[in-house]
Structure formats: structure tokens, C-alpha cells
Structure 1
Amino acid sequence: MSSSFGAEKELMVNGTAYQIYRLDALENSDRLPVSIRILLENLLRHEDGVTVTAMDIKAVANWDPQAEPSREIQYRPARVLMQDFTGVPAVVDLAAMRDAMVTLGGSATDINPLQAAELVIDHSVQVDHFGDANAFDLNAEIEFQRNRERYQFLKWGQSGFSSLKVVPPDTGIVHQVNLEYLARVVYSEQRDDKLLAFPDTLVGTDSHTTMINGIGVLGWGVGGIEAEASMLGQPISMLVPKVVGVKLVGKLPEGSLATDLVLTIVERLREHGVVGKFVEFYGPAIAKMPLGDRATIANMAPEYGATCGLFPVDQETLDYLRLTNRSEDQIALVEAYAKAQGMFHTADSAEAEYSETLELDLSAIEPSLAGPKRPQDRVPLKDAKAQFEQAVEAFNGGESQTVSTNIDGASTEITDGDVVIAAITSCTNTSNPSVMMAAGLLAKKAVESGLSVKPWVKTSLGPGSRVVMQYLEQAGLDKPLDTLGFDLVGYGCTTCIGNSGPLPEEVSKAISDGDLTVTSVLSGNRNFEGRVHAEVRMNYLASPPLVVAYALAGTMNIDLYHDPLGINTEGEPVLLKDIWPSSKEIAEAISDNLTREGFIASYARLFDGDSRWQSLEAPAGSQFQWDPDSTYIRHPPYFEEISLDPDPITDIEAARCLAWLGDSVTTDHISPAGAIKADSPAGTYLTELGVKADEFNSYGSRRGNHEVMMRGTFANIRLRNRLLPESEGGVTRHLPSGDEMSIYDAAMRYKEESVPVIVIAGKEYGSGSSRDWAAKGPALQGVRAVIAESYERIHRTNLVCMGILPLQFLPGESADTLELTGEERFFIPDPGDQTVHRITVKARSDKGSEKEFDVTVRIDTPNEVDYFKHGGILHYVLRKMASESSK
């Protein structure tokens, strides 16, 4: 390693000597935002004269807040974090790379994580059972039955790959486990004869990896493909970003919670525009903001569009580390390191220089929801009924429908707008004791008033870790939640990822019979169309206590400020304000029941797993023994017939449009994670293999089988393809025949005809979850390019990393302004070796007329040029490692 700046210094902490790379070796580094300082330290520590040069370091030290990002750096995070939906395909790819490495003349064990990799199994549990004291055990048993093959494979990976740790299922949500246990804040490792200390940094295969920013750790979501390359020692190529500073002032008013604050932040920052930027929070309100509130805000950085939403390290950070049972030596290291590097926040800390600044007064925050289909669409609670009425009219034309049914032996009616799912779920809020205690206290008061949940509501409680149940039980708040049907269903993502499980048969039939527009209310972070449940058209994000309140009301068609939730035991109406807990009650519940001992007990045997996990047999060996009959884990085709030299990139000639999509098409639209429909291409495939419909599991759980996933690509039931404007779902027209069929079938037909295909899209293409299959699936379907008005950050990168060319219409232009029909044949030249530049596309109609239009090539960095030329990042890494192995 090179050392151009003499930055190595010794830091003594409790008698231990650490080597650190002092930022004050570079002039004016104290003016930089904390996130830029962390990038700067990363470059100092990895200076080698090749991937990181002295000029790179100087460029970052002299960061210009107002300059457009142009400087590419090679960034090396300390670790990689995965959940199982994205982790399984990542490990599948690594296993396939081992086979390919052997084919290329190397050793299987050349493919190994070169840095810490942690995987938490949390996305596989579904809410099959609810409202039952045994729901957790029943759901866990079903989970193991469904996912045995996947779990055996992960167990093989844990022993087969060095530096890979697996947290077994039914333990906690990945981001909360990271926050409460895995995160170091300051990392230390032995290098040669020295003990290095440096910032804990990470990338994760889940968009909401950003939650760890709440504790001062810089981390963000990447596609699984990028994460695999990072695990294999490849630096992350990135442009030094702009940084938006958000100054927080004031104090939350009585009745407002962290969820209301984050939904407001999502709305404000989406309006401001922070896509591709870092966000840092600062200001006088920080000092009194609990870590749980910070984590809630940091979690939803993908929803406000930022790469990250970083909070500083301060006294609250140290107190939280102590509460969560980090060692005193580790806490001392965090404090000493942050202070030595000028990154410890106090009331008199100088403001950094930011590219842009905003100010948010917490005292103006009001109770809010977001919906019915995007997290940035905040709705003040006082306006929720009026907004709902407008939204439901857009769905059904204003003609309200009602269906009579029988539930549990009693006659009832289900109407448009009724809440059929009420879920306290996901990482956003279940990490936060204040909103969880609020939900428990509200439930307690509701039960004492004699209120009950409406019979058509499917209720569930999926906390982020076992600590949550520990403090709810200690506070005596688990019982009232149980009484209202919010029994523990599992420790996992559940409803927010689409693992809602089936609705009760009577409810499902009523929805179908009346074509009802029903709703869900969940405390998660995603409410995109078709994500929560296939039968639920409208979905609202809300705080946990509001989830309970709407379950009591049973409908969105209610003004919670003035309409009663129900009638108490004395025959009097009960309003929300009558049972809403005060901030004092919430604070006392936390103070009395959230203890270090609870964390000690909950994390004592984190990696052991339960008896089901411990008894699970797993294969051994450096190469995985693929089962050709498996419907979960299949050898992927990416490396078939791979050679050391890539084939040259060629022009795309006479391509057809496979799908013409609109604005805000999410990765859920492109690669759904939820239920597999029996009549879909994936369902047909599984049925032909003898898999029963009730054993289909979900798309997310079958991401280790490319045959399922390529059939599931563009299969979301809410996808709208303008080639079939009256349709909904994954269907298209084959051209020039005009035959209507599924997008998968059309893609396979084009392949047989040797016709390349492209996708046309609007703004924010690929928003939502970091989902590698949203790029892998189109690649396997033969998609060579996407032409969109704009892209979300992770998905654009994923397209390049799978060898798909991302092109962008020029500002002010679109398929509509260019008067394209989607029926043309498209001619796209080889983009060459340049980064962002223009090329000319030709669109020729079958009648012979031709249009030309310029587009921007969104291959943004030189490294991405290499990835694209190799057909993808994994091919590039594999060839590089095979070449080095042969030397």
C-alpha cells in the first residue's frame, strides 16, 4: 500500500494501540460532511497507486459541494449484508462461479468472500396463521417445510465459504439485527502486524440497508450482483456525490410519532430531489432524538430517493451501544475514534459544507399516512377520509359495492374501502420502541373500553427482533395486542414484502364476487401496487398505533378525528383521542421496560437457531452438488460456455419492443416477490413439475431457480403494458403477428426467431427494492436495452451489471413526444468505450418509415464500461480472477 500523506497515526484506547488514518493530514477536511470524510478515510487506507491514487484522495479532500459529480472513486466497504431473498441467488451465483472457475482451469476455492459477509434469514416466513396464540410456531413450521431446500443450501454456503455468517430464521429482521448486534460503528482488524481501526461501512442486498445510517454507520443498498463482486474483493466504482444537509429543529408535538416524521421527510425530499445524492441530518433536534427515531428516518432513504440518510455519532450513539450490550472496549473505541477524526457530534459542532440544505421543524409534524400506492404520497390523517374517497372513485368510478358474507358464523358485510389487512410489520417501525409501545398502550386502552377488531380484518404482528416481544411482555402490553388479534406471527418482513399469506376464504370470495376495492394498512415502508397482496388494491403506510386503530375501525372510509372507532361497554362512542397514549405514557413504558438485560437474553444464541435449524442436514464440499430435480435451487446459465475473452459488443439490429411501460414502474412490477398465480407462466412451470399450488411459495423464495424467475419477470398482476392498453398483468403483443400472450412467452418466441428485444419506459424506471432479478430476468428473456425517461440508482446499475444497455431519452423527450408506437423495429449502435454520451437510435416502422432520435447512454463510470463489455460484472470478475489464478 502507498502512503502519500503520512496519515498513519497511533490511537491508544484502554491500553490497546490502533493504527488509524488521520483525516487532519489533509487540509480543510474538517469542513467536509461526515459521509465524504468516511469516503476520504476509505481512500487513504486503500491507496495503492492503481485503484486509489494520491490524485483521487486530493480530489475528495478538495470536494466541491456545488460541482456536478464527475470524480470516480473505488470504494471498499468493510462488509456485505444480505437477507435471504437476495442472499440465496447471491450464494447460487458464487456456487456457479466456482464451477466456472474450475472450467477455466482454476480452483473452486479461488471463489471466496474476501471480506465479512453476513446473511440474515428473515424474508421467508409468511402469515398463514394469525389471531392465534400458536401462530408463531405454526408459521415457523410451515416456513421450514416450504424452504428446506433453500435453508440446506444456505447451511452449505455457511460452511463452504469463508467469512460468511448466517443468522438462522425466526430470529429477527436483517436491519434490526444489524442495528442491535452486527454493527460495529468503528471496525477493527489485524493487517500484517498492526491493528487497524476505521469506520464500519457496508453495502447490503436490501434497499433498506440504510437503516444502519441511524447509528452513524455509512451503508446503502446495492443489487445482489454488485454485492457478490464486492464480496470477491472488487471495489465499488462510484462518483463522489453531492450531499444534502437536512437541518432538524424543534420537537415533535403531542400526538405525533416518528412514523409521521419520516413520512413527511419522504414527501419533502422527494419533492426536493435527492436521487443519487447523500443526505445527512444535523441540527439542534438531533441531540434529543432517540436512536429508534433516527433509524426509522434512515431506513426510508430509498423512499425519499437518497443513497443514504446519515446521522452523526454522538452521545446517544454511545448510550445505544451500551443499551444493546456492546462491550465497553468497543464503546470506548467508537468514542475515541470519532473524536480523533472530528466526527463526534456535539451541540457546538461546526456545520459542514453541504451541496444544498433544507430545514424541517419537528413541531409542525402531524399524524399522517401514505398511500394508496406510493410511500411518498403523504396524507395528513385529518384529510385521510377525503383523500380515500377520491382515490377509491378513481378505482371504481365512485359506485360503492357491498357484499354480504358469513364470518365465524355471523352475517356481515364487506364494502369498498374496508381494511382487510392490518399489519404491524417490517423494519421501518418495529425497530422503534416508541411506536411499538404506543401500539401496545393503544391496544390496552381499546381492550379496556371493550372495543374489538372487525371480523374481516387479518391482523398480524411481525416485530424486528426478539427484543421487541421481550419489552412488550415485560410491560404487559403483549396481552391486549393478542386480544385484538395482533399475536406474534413471526420475526420477518412478512406483509411489507408480500408475504401476507392468504386472506380468509370468506373475505377472499367476497372481494372476488363484488370486485371490491379493499385496503391494507401496514407499518412498513413499501405500498406499491400488487406488492402487499394480489387481492388488495389500495395500501396505506401508517404508524403501528394507527394500524391498530384502523383494524378497530375496519375501514379507510372514516374520519378518525371525529368518527368513533366503536362503542364502549357503557354504550358510549369511543374516539381515537380517547385511547391515544400520551408521550409521557410512552416514555415511561420505555424507561421501565427497555433494558440491557433484554438485549443480552435475546442475542445470547443468535447464530444457533432453533431445533429445526440445528437438525437440518446440509451437503459438504467446495462445490455444490446441484439437484436437477430441485424447484428451488438450480444451476444458473450465466456462465455456460464462458471463455477467458469476452465476445465483442455488437449493434442491436431490428429489435422489437417487448413491453412499453409508464412512469414509476418498480422492481416489484418487473420482478414480483409475492404469490405465484397458478395460471402464470411460473405457476404453469411448477404445476408441470408436480408442485401443488399451495406449495408454490413466493417468487422471492424461489429466486435460486432461474426457470421460475425468468417466467416471473414482468408478471406482476398490476403491470400495465401500452402494447396492450386495455390489459393488466404481464401480457404483451408479439410483433409483427399481433398475437397476444404473456411477456415470457413472447420473449421466448422472439428468441426462437433470433429477434433481440428492448423495453421502453417512463420516469423512475426500476424504483423500489434493490432486486437483482429485475435485471437478471430481463437479461434471460433476451432484453438487450432499456430506453427510459429516468432510472432509479440501483436498478440502472443492475442493468449494466447484467449486460443490458440503459439508455435515457433526452430531457423533455419521451416515447410519446417522439410519437413512437412501440411497434417499430429499433436499431441501436454499439455504445463504445465512453461513459455518459449520446448515440442515435433508429426506429423503423413495418411500413418502411423511419425516425431517428438521440438518447443518452447511462453507462456512468469507466468500470461500468468494462462490466458491459464483458456481458456483466460477474463475468468480468470471473475472467479477472481466472487470469490471475493462471499466473
Structure 2
Amino acid sequence: MALSGHDTMKTRRTLKVGSREYDYFSLEAAGLSGIERLPNSLKVLLENLLRYEDGRSVTTDDVKAVAAWLENRRSDREIAYRPARVLMQDFTGVPAVVDLAAMREAVTKLGGDPESINPLSPVDLVIDHSVMIDHFGTQDALGKNIAVEFQRNGERYAFLRWGQKAFDNFRVVPPGVGICHQVNLEYLARVIWSAEENGRTLAFPDTLVGTDSHTTMVNGLGVLGWGVGGIEAEAAMLGQPVSMLIPEVVGFRLTGTLPEGTTATDLVLTVTQMLRKKGVVGKFVEFYGEGLNHLPLTDRATISNMAPEYGATCGFFPVDAETLRYMRFTGRDEETVALVEAYARAQGMWHDENSPEPVFTDTLSLDMGTVQPSLAGPSRPQDRVTLAAVSGAFGESLSKFVPDRTQVTSVPVKGGAYRLEDGAVVIAAITSCTNTSNPSVMMAAGLVAKKAVEKGLTSKPWVKTSLAPGSQVVAAYLEEAGLQTYLDTLGFDIAGFGCTTCIGNSGPLIDEVAAAIDEGGLVAASVISGNRNFEGRIHAQVRASYLASPPLVVAYALAGSMNIDLTTQPLGQDKDGNDVYLKDIWPTAREVSDAIASFVTPQMFRERYGAVFTGSQEWQDITVVEGETYAWDPESTYVRNPPYFDGMGLEPAPVQDIVGARPLAILGDSITTDHISPAGSIKADSPAGRYLTEHGVSRADFNSYGSRRGNHEVMMRGTFANIRIRNKMTPGVEGGVTCHQPSGEVMAIYDAAMAYKKDGVPLVVIGGKEYGSGSSRDWAAKGTNLLGVRAVIVESFERIHRSNLVGMGILPLQFQDGVSAESLGLTGTETFDIRGLESLKPRQMLEVVVHGADGSTRSFEAVCRIDTLDEIDYYRNGGILQTVLRNIAKG
């Protein structure tokens, strides 16, 4: 992919750094008035437009529109943005590589060259989502989990190794290295990128899109990046620009410092709650203020990580002296660090006390001195609750999970000398990129464990404990500090290097605990240091899940219950029978900072990332069949050629109105992509479970939906199959079922969809607010497409899922304010006609005609949420991949 366009505005300049010279596109040379006060995140977009300005995809008017943003602090201008690179993890990366392999085969059938399907932008895929916590609490848990991981995923890994050899610009970070976002932060990200073009070295901001919503974490380093669906990422790596509106930018002023006894996790849960309440969906958030001077970069990354939870496209921090300090701390070379400083200063992207305050669309502020110890739960990351209020809040939430339960119930555990009750913490997991990238909270967890062990405390026997660091560096400094021994004593042995529990790879509960939960219908709880706690995500038998800092995860393993107020009640007794309280084992900020200063070194990062792409012996021993196109195995249950391009010609068929559509589901508010396309375990009696059984897969080898994303047959059967989803067409029933019309028969959503498809009946899905929130899961759109859904009509969309729906050729419609399925009295017995598609324009109003089962007819207007002209093109072609494929095939 070309790195620059025509430079009509003559902004190319030379920057000398040490003995080297770099070309760059100067913002100052553009002569745009007032741009020194643009938000730094928009300066990155402006540079991108200057560099790619070619009079066609990017025009001088696009460039001027960014400067004009300053007048209204918002814009309706659509721009073409080209990120420098793409980041993937294996759950989303495998289906993306499957699509690329399918595109190679399809372009060949259309008379094109398979080599034309090749990443033009650098792509890094980090295998981090496949390790599960099958074994825990023992010294050999890590080795055993790795062995099981390779046994389960050998076929997927062989496919990725084929891709590594078959595609240019495609690197794979093997299993066991760490979580993609932490690897990105600690190693892959450069802040300022450089590359050769026409014999000159060009410097430009490091930017990216990723197939995981928490790609935003790297914004803490001043690198602009956000999550997109796999289909958008594939288009980006094939040289297609990301089409977007110049965003609104909300400024978040930080002042003060965190008080003693609080952590970065408490801060980010507070920020998440504030921004979700403010409403920042589809907007950039940029942090500023004197508080940045007291905020370590790892704390910034913690805040940026959770941008999907507060709903923003990204949470951006500017480049400053702390950025440089972190780069040196993580072992980056001095030449790179020098380039970052020189470039940021030359472009007005450097932040210090003399920097002008940016202009923002809107602002809000937080005095960090007011932050309190907190958790978030029991099922949404924005639902913050102070530590002191947790026990009471859990009691109040019981009736939400079990409507007729007003007080805590308990049952005896067979084979154990204890009873299990509602609120029992059955999983305590230090996991996920959000916190394991931050030495302050990881050292704090180790120090809590040390103090607890020294006082004679132990984890409760019903708690499944685990530690899954986000990189091998974490393991190195915990070991060097002598803290891993104490974590091991409490059952927090290292069980894997990967996402694990936060993605639902928590593995089975302790057998007798699982049996007691089922017997008593108990509302069990988990406490994890993650970023997602949606109902049904962490474990099928765990109804209440809480996000907390790593040291609080250790504390709840000791307490074993959400019914205890950790601020006033003891965690247990010491060797002499004296009560031990949380305050007795909580480290001071000085203890934590001293531990970091003494035991975390740049050399650790250099050593652990020195051979990052080599992998273990198990990885190297995988047999790879080479070739331009992939040799699909018709018997495979992991990797299959998807049907997206079946029968596709060089020209798309004309778009026609949707007539006689039946509703497949009528859903409520906050339907997440986990509800639509679960990542966790596969039930034996589900359509996906039956498919695997019919193909000779034993129940023990089902693995997870996430690991099966290379097989469309499994994934379409798993669409809307979350065990906690509630379809209003089947009131009182949880799980992926619907009422088929006009028969009135209740059946699995997949079975109903196939019956409708057989009869040639198009489908719609109807929902409420925040439809598609959560992970940037392209299978939530792909599965919807394969079930035959032509349109999704909701009150509001989460950004990434709306884009993914368009990318799969599905029409996203939004009810007008005050209109909903409830206000329209929809029951699921109706049919729908959607008119006006033949002359479709971005965000136009479309008529939806509703035909009642009694013969009545009424209509309403809905907003077409195809937002840009490029998206119109994608929709007309049946999807973004079909658009790209036709363009490549035509040459």
C-alpha cells in the first residue's frame, strides 16, 4: 500500500533526528488557521489526510474540513482514513484469515490472481484467546493448560501457520506470549512509524485498527487505534480506507492524584461510569489537564483499554515526557524514542505545561482525589459500586437473577465441610489486558498475597483461583520480587498467558461446587480483574460477575463471598485467632512503587520479547501444508470454506425492497455481541452441539464458540444461542429460542431460521437501546447474515456492530425517538415490508409497513443507519468483502 498521495498542498518537509533525516507531512505547512488548538487525536487524522491527499479518495476539501471542525466542534464530513497497520487476536483473526483464504479461491473463479488477495498493510495476529483454565492452583497448571490448548487447537494453529507463510505482511505471535493489547503496548507499538518510500524514509504517526474492541488500550501511549469488525479489518489490510465521519471529541479533564488505598482500576471504573452516563458512543474521548502529570502511562493505558465499556471510539492521551519514559522502561531503542519526541514537537502533538488547551465538542472533569475503592457489577462494566456498598448491592440484585428470591439461600456441599450460598465467589481470576499490563496493580496483588499468607489466611475451598498474566514480563517481575510464591500459596499459580477468564475461557468449576450451584439454583459470583462481565459470559453457572483490581481479586478469594463488607468485616483470622481485615494486608502506595522500582527493568522486556515470533517447540513442530490457496478439509470442524462468495458474479444484483419479512427475535435493551454470538462453552443439546456430535466430536472436545469461529456451520448455529438471551416472542424462556410463525411452534432460533429459509421468507430482528454493545465480534453480524436476516430494527446501535451489519449486507434501521417495539405493540406475529431501498441514500428515512396477523396494516418511518456513501456501496454489493473482491477482480 502506498504511504502517501500527491501532496497537492505541498506540505512534505524534512525532519533531522540525530544523524538521520525523515520526510514528514507538516501540519503547520498546510496553512490552516487555529489548528494548534485541535484535539491531538484529530491532529493525527489531519496528518493522515494530508499524507494521502490524492484529489480522489482524499481531497483538499477533506483536509480543510478538519480545520473547519474548530468552528462548530463537530462535522458531518465523511473522510477516508488509512491506518498504518492492523492488529488481530486469534478468535477474530482465524475467521479473518478464513475469509482471506476464501477470497483467494473466489478471485481465482472470477478470473483474477490469487496473489492479489494479500495484506498491503502490516498485520500482527497474537494468539491469546485460546488457552482455557482447565487446570489451576498447582505448579504444573501452566504446562497442563498449554498441552490441552495445543491438543484442542492444533488444526486452527496449523491454519494460522499456513497463513503466516502464504500471505505477505502477516506476522503471527505464537501462543504463550501474552495478550494482544499488552503485547501491542509493550512491544509492537512504535508511536511514530517510519518506512521507506521512493528511496526516502517517511515518518508518520503509528495508527491501527484491531479486530478486538480493546485495541483502544494503545491510545494510552498516544497511538490512535480502535476496534473494528474482522470484515472491516480485512478491507483495511487489503488497502481499503476506513470510511468515517470526522468525530466529535469529548475532553475529559483530570486533576489531582489518586488517594492512598485506591488503584488505577478504581479510577477506570469511575471514568467508565461517568462517560457512559455522559453518552459518548461514536465519539473520541481525549484526556487532558494537570492530572496527566501524576498519571503513569500504565494507568493511562488502563483507562484507554475500557473505551468500549464507556462507549467511545477511543480514549486518547497525548504524547509527552511520560510516553518517552515508558518507551525506555519497556526497552524501546533510543533512536525510536528520539524520533517520537522530535516528530511530536515538530507537529504540535507534544503535550507539556506550555501546550495550548485543545478545543473540544464538550467536556467533563474528575478530581482523582475523589476516587474510592470500587467494583463494577453484577453484569455490566459501567455499573460501578463502592467497595463498602458491594454486599448490600448484591443482596438487592438477587431478585433480578431469581425473581422470587428475597434473601440469601444456601445448600450443603457434598464431600465438603461447608455450605455454599448465594453470593459465593466461585471464581477469582487475575486476568485480562486491562489490569495485567499495569505493574502497580499486579505488584499490589502480590503484596496482598504476601501479607495474607504471613498472617495465615487461605483462599476459601470453593473458589477457583487463577492468574493469567498479559505478558511474560509480568511473570518475570513477580518472580524476581519474590511475590509469586505467596500468590501460589493462595492458589494464584500462573495458569496461562492469555485472555482466559475475561473472554469466558474460565474452564470448569470445582465439581462439587458446580453440583451445589445446580442443586440449590444458587446465584454464584465471580470476581475478575477484567473488563467484561456480561451475564453468561464468564461461566454458564455464574450469574453475578464483578470487575475489580487484582489485589481485590485476591481479597475476595480470601473472603469467598459477596455478602461480606470488606471495609468493616474480617477476611479471616490469623494464626493466633485474631481477626484480619483488608486494611491489615493492603499495601501502601510507597510499598508498591518501591517494588516496581526494584524489580521491573527494561532488560526484562528486551529478553522476553527478543524472540517473540519464534514460539514454543509445540508451535514449531506443527506441520504446515504450503500453497497459494488453502487445501480445505471437508471433514474439518474448525476451518471450513464459508459461503459468502457462492455464485457471486462481477456485478451485483439490483437492490430490492424487503417484502414479507418475519421477525426472528424481538429483543430488549443492552443486547451485547455476547448475546448474539457467544464466545464460551457449547451446550450439548444446542444446534451447534448436535452438529459437532453428528460430526464425531466428543463433548469433551467441543472447545468453545470462540475457538470454532473458522467454521460457519458451528457459528451460525450458535447465533442468538446465548443461554441468557431473552426473546420477547417466547416470554418466560431464557436461551436461543423463538416462536416460528405462522405455526406458533417454539423452537431453536437456528431451526426456525432454516425453516424460514426453506420457505423463502426473509427475516428481521427487532431490538432496543445499545444493540450490539460489547466486543467487536464480526460473527455477531456474519451469523445474523447466514440465518437469513435482512434487516435489524432497533432504538440505537453500538458503533462497531452497526458497521459490521452493513459490512455483511444487512440493513440497520433505527426507530425514531419515542418509537419502539413496545410502543408499536409488536408481538412477533406480524410481517414487515421495508420500502425505498432501490434509491438508498445515507441516513435517509425508510418506510416500514407492518401487516398484522388479523389483516391490519400500519406503518412507521425509521432512519437508515447506513451512514456513508462507501457503506451504500458495501450494502449494494452484499457486503464489504464482496465489494473489495469485485474491485480486485476487475483490476
SS at match of 1:827: strand
For 1:877, the equivalent position in structure 2 comes to: 884
Instruction: Determine the C-alpha separation between the residues in 2 that align with 1:414 and 1:65.
Output: 61
SS at match of 2:69: coil
Q: Which structure 2 residue ranges, 5 or more long, are not aligned?
A: none
Instruction: Determine the C-alpha separation between the residues in 2 that align with 1:457 and 1:231.
Output: 43
For 2:755, the equivalent position in structure 1 comes to: 749
SS at match of 2:823: coil
Amino acid in the other structure paired with 1:15: S
Instruction: Determine the C-alpha separation between the residues in 2 that align with 1:142 and 1:399.
Output: 41
Query: What is the 5 A alignment of 1:794-809?
Result: 794-809=800-815
For 1:325, the equivalent position in structure 2 comes to: 331
How far residue 504 of structure 1 moved from its aligned partner, in angstroms, is 1.4
Instruction: Determine the C-alpha separation between the residues in 2 that align with 1:123 and 1:69.
Output: 38
What is the CA RMSD across the aligned residues, in angstroms?
A: 0.8
For 1:145, the equivalent position in structure 2 comes to: 151
Which residue among 768, 793, 797 is the counterpart of 2:799? 793
Query: What is the 5 A alignment of 1:327-406?
Result: 327-396=333-402, 397-406=405-414
How far residue 2 of structure 1 moved from its aligned partner, in angstroms, is 2.1
Instruction: Determine the C-alpha separation between the residues in 2 that align with 1:330 and 1:561.
Output: 46
Instruction: Determine the C-alpha separation between the residues in 2 that align with 1:444 and 1:870.
Output: 60
Instruction: Determine the C-alpha separation between the residues in 1 that align with 2:407 and 2:269.
Output: 31
SS at match of 2:196: strand
Instruction: Determine the C-alpha separation between the residues in 2 that align with 1:576 and 1:591.
Output: 25
Matched, 1:4 2:8: yes
Contact 1:652 1:830 in 2 (8 A): no
For 2:26, the equivalent position in structure 1 comes to: 22
How far residue 161 of structure 1 moved from its aligned partner, in angstroms, is 0.2
How far residue 650 of structure 1 moved from its aligned partner, in angstroms, is 1.1
How far residue 589 of structure 1 moved from its aligned partner, in angstroms, is 0.5
Which residue among 839, 850, 854 is the counterpart of 1:847? 854
How far residue 464 of structure 1 moved from its aligned partner, in angstroms, is 0.5
SS at match of 1:816: helix
Which residue among 545, 548, 560 is the counterpart of 1:542? 548
Task: Tell me the percent identity.
Answer: 61
Instruction: Determine the C-alpha separation between the residues in 1 that align with 2:190 and 2:170.
Output: 17
Contact 2:254 2:367 in 1 (8 A): yes
For 1:759, the equivalent position in structure 2 comes to: 765
Instruction: Determine the C-alpha separation between the residues in 1 that align with 2:336 and 2:585.
Output: 42
Which residue among 831, 848, 856 is the counterpart of 2:863? 856
For 2:527, the equivalent position in structure 1 comes to: 521
SS at match of 2:270: helix
For 2:215, the equivalent position in structure 1 comes to: 209
Which residue among 606, 611, 623 is the counterpart of 1:605? 611
SS at match of 2:684: coil
How far residue 525 of structure 1 moved from its aligned partner, in angstroms, is 0.1
Deviations for 1:209-233, whole angstroms, at most 9, x for unmatched residues? Answer: 0000010000000000000000000
Amino acid in the other structure paired with 2:265: T
How far residue 4 of structure 1 moved from its aligned partner, in angstroms, is 2.5
Amino acid in the other structure paired with 1:2: H
Amino acid in the other structure paired with 1:316: E
For 2:83, the equivalent position in structure 1 comes to: 77
Which residue among 578, 582, 590 is the counterpart of 2:588? 582
Instruction: Determine the C-alpha separation between the residues in 2 that align with 1:851 and 1:291.
Output: 56
Query: What is the 5 A alignment of 1:10-49?
Result: 10-25=14-29, 26-27=31-32, 28-49=34-55
Matched, 1:172 2:178: yes
For 2:728, the equivalent position in structure 1 comes to: 722
How far residue 405 of structure 1 moved from its aligned partner, in angstroms, is 1.6
Contact 1:65 1:354 in 2 (8 A): no
Query: What is the 5 A alignment of 1:411-426?
Result: 411-426=417-432
Which residue among 621, 628, 652 is the counterpart of 1:615? 621
Contact 1:312 1:344 in 2 (8 A): yes
Deviations for 1:599-648, whole angstroms, at most 9, x for unmatched residues? Answer: 11111110000010011111101100000000000000000111000011
Contact 1:66 1:242 in 2 (8 A): no
Instruction: Determine the C-alpha separation between the residues in 2 that align with 1:848 and 1:603.
Output: 67
Contact 2:120 2:238 in 1 (8 A): yes
Amino acid in the other structure paired with 2:556: Y
C-alpha spacing 1:283/1:659, structure 2 compared with 1 (3 Å): same
SS at match of 2:626: coil
Range moving further from structure 2, 598-607 or 115-124: 598-607
C-alpha spacing 1:587/1:285, structure 2 compared with 1 (3 Å): same
Amino acid in the other structure paired with 1:739: E
Instruction: Determine the C-alpha separation between the residues in 2 that align with 1:66 and 1:460.
Output: 50
Instruction: Determine the C-alpha separation between the residues in 2 that align with 1:883 and 1:60.
Output: 33
Instruction: Determine the C-alpha separation between the residues in 1 that align with 2:125 and 2:739.
Output: 41
Contact 1:287 1:347 in 2 (8 A): no
Instruction: Determine the C-alpha separation between the residues in 2 that align with 1:317 and 1:107.
Output: 44
Deviations for 1:281-337, whole angstroms, at most 9, x for unmatched residues? Answer: 111111221111011000000000000001111111111111111111111100100
Contact 1:65 1:355 in 2 (8 A): no
TM-score (norm 1): 0.99
How far residue 174 of structure 1 moved from its aligned partner, in angstroms, is 0.1
How far residue 839 of structure 1 moved from its aligned partner, in angstroms, is 1.1
Range moving further from structure 2, 768-777 or 820-829: 820-829
How far residue 14 of structure 1 moved from its aligned partner, in angstroms, is 1.3
SS at match of 1:531: coil
**Matched residue count:** 882
Query: What is the 5 A alignment of 1:636-655?
Result: 636-655=642-661
Q: Which structure 1 residue ranges, 5 or more long, are not aligned?
A: none
Instruction: Determine the C-alpha separation between the residues in 2 that align with 1:336 and 1:312.
Output: 14
How far residue 399 of structure 1 moved from its aligned partner, in angstroms, is 4.0
Instruction: Determine the C-alpha separation between the residues in 1 that align with 2:615 and 2:248.
Output: 42
TM-score (norm 2): 0.98
Which residue among 189, 192, 195 is the counterpart of 1:189? 195
Contact 2:73 2:360 in 1 (8 A): no
Contact 1:51 1:74 in 2 (8 A): yes
How far residue 401 of structure 1 moved from its aligned partner, in angstroms, is 2.1
Contact 2:506 2:538 in 1 (8 A): yes
Contact 2:395 2:407 in 1 (8 A): no
Range moving further from structure 2, 723-732 or 593-602: 593-602
Deviations for 1:381-418, whole angstroms, at most 9, x for unmatched residues? Answer: 111111111011332321432121245xx422111110
How far residue 68 of structure 1 moved from its aligned partner, in angstroms, is 4.5
Instruction: Determine the C-alpha separation between the residues in 2 that align with 1:596 and 1:876.
Output: 46
Contact 2:7 2:52 in 1 (8 A): no
Give the ranges of 4+ consecutive aligned residues of structure 1 lying more than 3 Å apart after TM superposition.
64-69
For 2:479, the equivalent position in structure 1 comes to: 473
Instruction: Determine the C-alpha separation between the residues in 2 that align with 1:347 and 1:482.
Output: 45
For 1:446, the equivalent position in structure 2 comes to: 452
